[in-house]
Amino acid sequence: MAHQRGATARLAIDTETTFKTTPGTPDGLILPFVNESIRASQNLNESKTIRSSRNPQAPSAGRIEVAGDINFEFAWQYGRILKHVFGGVATTGASAPYTHTFTIGSLPAGLLVEKSFPDISGTNKFALFNGCKINQFRLSCGTEGMIEAGVSILGAKETLGSSSFDATLRDLGHEPFDAFKATITEGGSALAIGTKIDLLFENNLDGNTFVIDGTGQRYSLPEGTAKVSGTLTALFDSYALYEKAVNRTESSLVLEFIRGTGNGSDGNEKITFYIDELLYRRQGPVITGPTGLLVELPFVGFYTDDADASALRCVAMNAEAGATYL
């Protein structure tokens, strides 16, 4: 019997126009990833009935829980993922380079995720998850290496199949950004002492939407109020950053990743994350040893009056038109 290898497994995604329904004309994209944990699980509920015997009665089937994470090295090709993270997206440009601006808005109807297991024997080699939405998006940038990113997903149903939902999956490739060419702007000025930034965006999906309909599946996955948070870590060379937390001084962060020149042409892609309004949480520096000290400042992003009207936004510049990128 064949044993599936992780190296040959595949993920693919598409956008649903109707929740829990595979598009009639699919446009599947291959999704490069590092690891994933998406799966369906279903409880077996034990009976409490006493029936003059110590033998247990057969359990009943519980609700179907579809959930898990996808972790990846962040690349410019993840436009479709970003669309399902933010909800709002607008593309400008009559020809390459194109600018894709992602802002907080209503999420698409659903995200379809498919796993492929080509090595195994038997008829079924595909697991299709419908009615998925992204609950969390994580991004971490240090001083070297690839930019680590990931999403946490909730979904509605799983279907096993013998063929892919899309026989002509598209592959945009995978050209990840690295920290070597990343930059941080804090409060409108380049931050030369930053050592790490962790970003968390949450859609606060309501996953408790099971109904009595004979399927055990979620009926919907409505999103709640978005949440933007994270931690900025920097060399402790003055109290300047910490004083912003003490004084509750509003600030901002811009995190930029580029390939080549970053002008948006092929091979010169750029993605920039903007948190235009934020407050740092007061968390003073500590002495951890005899070497150089760091200051770690948790932050919360928000929207009050910034012109772009989005607590977190992302601008991607590349040579892909919206129809193929998203």
For 18, 107, 248, 269, the CA distances from 225, given in Å and listed in that order, are 22, 12, 23, 31
Q: What is the structure's pLDDT at 2? A: 82
Which structure tokens are listed for 136?
Answer: 């969390």
- What is the residue type of 3? H
Nearest alpha carbon to residue 313 among 177, 74, 137: 137
**Residue by residue, what is the 3-state secondary structure of 40-57?**
EEEEEECCCCCCCCCCCC
How far is the C-alpha of 109 from the C-alpha of 94, rounded, in Å? 28
List residues bridging with 45 in a β-sheet.
60
pLDDT of residue 43: 93
The burial of 267, by beta-carbon neighbours within 10 Å (0-12 exposed, 13-18 middle, 19 or more buried), is given as exposed
Average pLDDT per 10 consecutive residues for the chain, totaling 326 residues: 90 98 98 98 95 94 97 98 98 97 98 96 95 98 97 98 97 96 97 97 98 96 98 96 97 98 97 98 95 97 96 98 96
Which residue type sits at 308? D
Q: How many CA atoms lie within 13 A of 254 on its CB side?
A: 14
CA distances from 81 to 12, 14, 218 (A): 11, 10, 22
Bridge partners (DSSP) listed for residue 140: 148, 198
Q: List C-alpha distances in Å: 155 to 41, 65, 72, 122, 226.
A: 11, 7, 19, 26, 18
Whole-angstrom CA distances from 162 to 124, 172, 248 are 4, 25, 57
Look-up of token digits 């020149």: 261
pTM reported for the whole predicted model:
0.96
* Structure tokens, 12: 């693919």
* 93 contact partners, CB below 8 Å, separation of at least 6: 99, 321
